Amino acid sequence: CRHRGTALSLGRVASNEIICSYHGW
């Protein structure tokens, strides 16, 4: 997920992957 310019800090870590909080990828 490109995070659409959203900061990675706004996401969360799950299954050793960064999950984008913007669209849940």
Reported as a single tens digit per residue, the pLDDT across 1-25 is: 555 555 555 555 555 555 656 565 5
The range of the structural domain enclosing residue 12 comes to 1-25
Q: What is the pLDDT of residue 17?
A: 59
Please state, in angstroms and as integers, the Cα–Cα distance from residue 21 to each residue in 13, 14, following that order.
10, 11
d(CA 18, CA 25): 8
Predicted TM-score of the model (pTM): 0.14
d(CA 12, CA 17): 8
Question: Per the structure, how many domains does the chain have?
Answer: 1
